[in-house]
Amino acid sequence: MTEHEKPLVQASSNGTTLVLEIQTDQIRDSDTASAISREMIALAKENQANRLVIDMHSVRFMGSVGFLALMGLRRHLDEPSIILCGLSEHLKDILEACKLISRDPDESAMFTMADTVDEAKERH
């Protein structure tokens, strides 16, 4: 079994919110990022979900290809609401520098962030 034959994303539904948990600790290469993107898009479409929580507590490193996976998911949804949670401080710093998230509630960004899945669910 190759690395990409097992799911890289686990899904659970909470009413109108779909929680997608990324199951790898590194998103360094385009094959991994593409597989994650495909899985997230398929799960969102299968569940007819535009309100997503992406749990990234397992991810310790994400290169720019990981950003593309997240942006690709956003492009495939109609009026998406996507909250990233479980981000390490390192990932928060990188995503904030790229203007994908903001720690300032008055500043808009492509994605919202929360510390935990429960906090993210409450925001939806």
Name the band, by pLDDT with cuts 50, 70 and 90, for residue 16: confident
Per-domain residue ranges of the chain: 3-123
Question: From CA 31, how far away is CA 10, in angstroms rounded?
Answer: 18
Q: Report residue 6's pLDDT band, with 50, 70 and 90 as the boundaries.
A: confident
Over range 45-53, report the average pLDDT: 92
Average pLDDT for 85-114: 94
What CATH number labels 3-123? Answer: 3.30.750.24
Residue 53, pLDDT score:
97
Q: How many helices (H) and strands (E) does the chain have?
A: 4, 7
